[in-house]
Amino acid sequence: MHTSEQARVFYWCRKPFCGARVVPFGSAVGVTAGRERLMTTTVADVMVATLKASGVRQIYGIPGDSLNGFTDALRRDGGIAWEHVRHEEAAGFAAAAEAALTGELAVCAGSCGPGNLHLINGLFDANRSRVPVLAIAAQIPAVEIGGGYFQETHPQELFRECSVYCEMVSVPEQLPRLLQMAMRAAVQRGGVGVVVVPGEVFLADAPSAKVTPVRTAYSMIRPDDSALAAAADVLNAARAVTILAGAGCAGAHDQLIALAGALQAPVVHAFRGKEFVEYDNPYDVGMTGLIGFSSGYRAMEHCDALLMLGTDFPYRPFLPERVPVVQVDVRGEQIGKRIPVQVPLVGTVGATIDALLPLIAAKADTAHLDRMTAHYRRVRARLDKLARDRRNDSPLHPQYVAATVDKLAATDAVFTADVGTPCIWAARYVRMNGARRLIGSFNHGSMANALPHAIGAQASHPGRQVVALCGDGGLAMLLGELITLRQMRLPVKVVVFDNGALSFVELEMKAAGIVTYGTDLDNPDFAGMARAAGLFGARVEKAGDLEDALREAFGHDGPALVDVRTVRHELSLPPKLTYGEIKGFTLYATRTVLSGGGEELVELTKANLRELDVE
């Protein structure tokens, strides 16, 4: 029997119906013990060889029958590790984090139906973060598609919204060409490439054993001279320029500093730009946005020209009105999405600044810069006072927890942060230095991202410290991934901000004038659960015990979790309070008292009275 025919017999007969016994592949077709040596090259073999030649060293996923041809090819090759997660959603997040750190292709895989469907949240995160991820989605037998078969879905339709390329392989002859196209789209466009492969195709004879590596091709793009001249005219005419810098400034730190110096411009950063912008930057005035600093907001409010560099900052109320805007983005279609732009510059940030700088007349007036940096120093001092050590505090203030993690973590640590209040504390207290990295679901905004992001970061950087800043709600969502840390021997350090609530949701409710409801979390002892799973686990309920617990966890040779009991009602005010938010908070207080929740207001007041001490 031909190999491809064997594959079909094997794949179709694998699931038992009406109690029938599943016959192993070898005995079903009489293959000898030497089958692995004699078997011709399969489609899956060529896929694995292509991925390996393209620099892929691990694939995240959970095995399943429709994936067996692929995972068996991985086993036989031995050159790519199978990172066995506990939920496919974690596989998508892990691949996203690896791609964010390396800039190279990362891969996840899921079996047919529910298996690959679970990938979707992590893939949305990767695609919206514009990092290169390949998803291999197995499919039911091709002959059964459209008949309502067991576990039938249509991945090529499901994943289209969260990908830059998504196609199904119908016949073996389409591979590896479709695989290469998906890989190329992912690395060049920045996003997710999806190939949907029926299970029998993996096992079919490969039409060709030729392997073509696919690696990122880098380019430097600059605007034309007329656009650069128009931008220079706007910036030279302005007296108070502010720069808003995002993740597009990666690799262009020196150019950014040179341009800010020539313009005497304060530099505000978006959250994704934090790791690339804030370090060694005398022009830094912090972040803006919902979880930003008032200094960042003021620098935007008081400018008479705004220069946006590599950012798709989405919060329009925090952008200035009626000032000329120059925006630089390598994707021209992104320009002007959030605010009217007078001069669009299509190019990479570094190359564009290199071409723009010779046209800039260096400014001598430092008044705008001096005011904004002074404001930032005051804000920074106030935030640091909120994080000071109060050794008898119980529960702990989250600012102190984040600042202590920052102090004790390695100089090249990778931090991942859950969406919600952990992002606030990471934004304000985890300091970047050019070597550290910060990964989060900053565009997609999914809960439960920190732990699976940490899996991808640690698997791809085995010698580097990885610290996951988890909320109690986020950790609980994908709690099973603690077992992944143990099984895969990934020494991730997990710090849990355990305040017994979905506290960011509560903040949103308070701002909207809504009585908090449905946000309570009756948490277990996460440290005890970590120990039961074979991890180091410590629980901290008093501020004086935090530093020792973190030192022990960070020094532990293996995965570790520190469960820190933190204040539930810690307020984190945005840099700009609207009348609606002030009114909403007043309504929340009134309605809370009227509904019998006066104790909550007392706790909120006690938790935040210390803020008066730092004014």
* Residue-wise DSSP of 241-286: EEEEE-GGGTT-HHHHHHHHHHHT--EEE-GGGHHHHSTT-TTEEE
**Residue 615 above 80 pLDDT?**
no
Q: Do 299 and 372 form a contact (C-beta atoms < 8 A)?
A: yes
pLDDT in tens, 536-579: 999 999 999 999 999 999 999 999 999 999 999 887 655 554 54
580 vs 597: CA distance, rounded Å: 22
296 vs 305: CA distance, rounded Å: 15
In a domain, residue 213? The reply is no
The amino acid that residue 143 corresponds to is: V
Q: Mark whether 335 and 250 lie in a shared domain.
A: yes
Q: Mark whether 104 and 181 lie in a shared domain.
A: yes
- What pLDDT does residue 612 have? 45
In a domain, residue 208? The reply is no
Q: Mark whether 183 and 284 lie in a shared domain.
A: no
111 or 516, which is more confident?
111
In a domain, residue 151? The reply is yes
**Residue 31 above 50 pLDDT?**
no
What single DSSP character describes residue 441? Answer: -
The catalytic residue positions are 88, 150-151, 419, 504
Q: Give CA separation, 529 vs 347, 483, 486, 494, in Å.
A: 50, 10, 13, 13
Q: Do 463 and 143 form a contact (C-beta atoms < 8 A)?
A: no
- What pLDDT does residue 163 have? 98
249 vs 124: CA distance, rounded Å: 23
pLDDT in tens, 143-169: 999 999 999 999 999 999 999 999 999
263 vs 175: CA distance, rounded Å: 53
Dihedral sign, CA of 353, 356, 357, 360?
negative
Q: Do 268 and 299 form a contact (C-beta atoms < 8 A)?
A: yes
Rounded-to-5 percentages of helix, strand, coil across the chain: 45, 15, 40
**Residue 12 above 70 pLDDT?**
no
Per the prediction, the chain carries an average pLDDT of 89
pLDDT in tens, 167-220: 999 999 999 999 999 999 999 999 999 999 999 999 999 999 999 999 999 999
Q: Which of these ranges, 98-107, 519-528, 532-541, 562-571, has the smallest mean pLDDT?
A: 562-571
Q: Mark whether 140 and 195 lie in a shared domain.
A: yes
Chosen domain end from 203, 236, 264 = 203
Cβ-in-10-Å burial (0-12, 13-18, 19+) of 517 comes to exposed
**Residue 14 above 50 pLDDT?**
no
Q: Do 601 and 592 form a contact (C-beta atoms < 8 A)?
A: yes
Q: Which of these ranges, 253-257, 382-386, 604-608, has the smallest mean pLDDT?
A: 604-608
Residues 306-312, mean pLDDT to the nearest whole number: 97
In a domain, residue 382? The reply is no
This prediction has a pTM of: 0.89
73 vs 520: CA distance, rounded Å: 47
Residues 414-434, mean pLDDT to the nearest whole number: 96
pLDDT in tens, 54-98: 999 999 999 999 999 999 999 999 999 999 999 999 999 999 999
Q: Do 382 and 614 form a contact (C-beta atoms < 8 A)?
A: yes
Rg (CA), the chain: 27
Q: How many CA atoms lie within 13 A of 408 on its CB side?
A: 19
Q: Mark whether 260 and 347 lie in a shared domain.
A: yes
What single DSSP character describes residue 609? Answer: G
In this structure, the dihedral spanned by the alpha carbons of residues 593, 596, 600 and 601, taken in order and rounded to 10 degrees, is 20
- What pLDDT does residue 39 have? 58
Q: Mark whether 484 and 595 lie in a shared domain.
A: yes
Q: Do 7 and 203 form a contact (C-beta atoms < 8 A)?
A: yes
pLDDT in tens, 496-521: 999 999 988 988 888 778 888 999 99
Nearest to 457 by CA among 129, 98, 64: 98
Segments forming the whole domain that contains residue 445: 387-614
Q: Do 517 and 600 form a contact (C-beta atoms < 8 A)?
A: no
Tokens describing residue 35: 């089958």
Q: Do 29 and 10 form a contact (C-beta atoms < 8 A)?
A: yes
Question: Taking phi first (over 0 means left), then psi (-120 to 50 degrees means alpha), and beta for anything else, what does residue 181 get?
Answer: alpha
10 vs 257: CA distance, rounded Å: 62
426 vs 438: CA distance, rounded Å: 9
Q: Which residues in 406-446 belong to E strands, given as ranges?
A: 414-417, 437-440
Q: Mark whether 429 and 538 lie in a shared domain.
A: yes
pLDDT in tens, 438-494: 999 999 999 999 999 999 999 999 999 999 999 999 999 999 999 999 999 999 999
Q: Mark whether 331 and 421 lie in a shared domain.
A: no
The DSSP bridge partners found for residue 329 are 346
- What pLDDT does residue 297 have? 92
Tokens describing residue 95: 């691949």
| Residue 86, C-beta contacts closer than 8 angstroms, at least 6 positions apart | 62, 478, 480, 481, 483, 484
Residues 586-606, mean pLDDT to the nearest whole number: 44
Q: Mark whether 504 and 561 lie in a shared domain.
A: yes
Please count the other Cβ atoms lying within 10 Å of the Cβ belonging to residue 84: 16
Crossing angle for the helix pair 294-301 and 367-386, nearest 10 degrees?
160
| Residue 582, C-beta contacts closer than 8 angstroms, at least 6 positions apart | none
Confidence band of 391 (pLDDT split at 50, 70, 90): confident
Element (H, E) at 110: strand 106-110
- What pLDDT does residue 573 have? 58
Q: Do 304 and 264 form a contact (C-beta atoms < 8 A)?
A: no
Q: Mark whether 315 and 233 lie in a shared domain.
A: yes
Total domains, the chain:
3
310 vs 323: CA distance, rounded Å: 19
In a domain, residue 212? The reply is no
In CATH, what number is assigned to the domain containing residue 60?
Answer: 3.40.50.970
In CATH, what number is assigned to the domain containing residue 344?
Answer: 3.40.50.1220
**Residue 8 above 60 pLDDT?**
no
Chosen domain end from 329, 359, 377 = 377
Q: Mark whether 604 and 476 lie in a shared domain.
A: yes
In a domain, residue 215? The reply is no
Cis bond leading into 320, ω under 30°? no
Tokens describing residue 147: 């008949």
Tokens 């008044």 label which residue?
Answer: 367
Residues 278-307, mean pLDDT to the nearest whole number: 94
Confidence band of 614 (pLDDT split at 50, 70, 90): very low
In a domain, residue 401? The reply is yes
**Residue 604 above 90 pLDDT?**
no
**Residue 9 above 70 pLDDT?**
no
485 or 588, which is more confident?
485
Percent of the chain residues topping a pLDDT of 90: 80
- What pLDDT does residue 601 have? 36
- What pLDDT does residue 25 have? 31
Chosen domain end from 344, 377, 410 = 377
81 vs 498: CA distance, rounded Å: 34
The amino acid that residue 540 corresponds to is: V
In a domain, residue 211? The reply is no
- What pLDDT does residue 575 have? 55
Q: Mark whether 349 and 242 lie in a shared domain.
A: yes
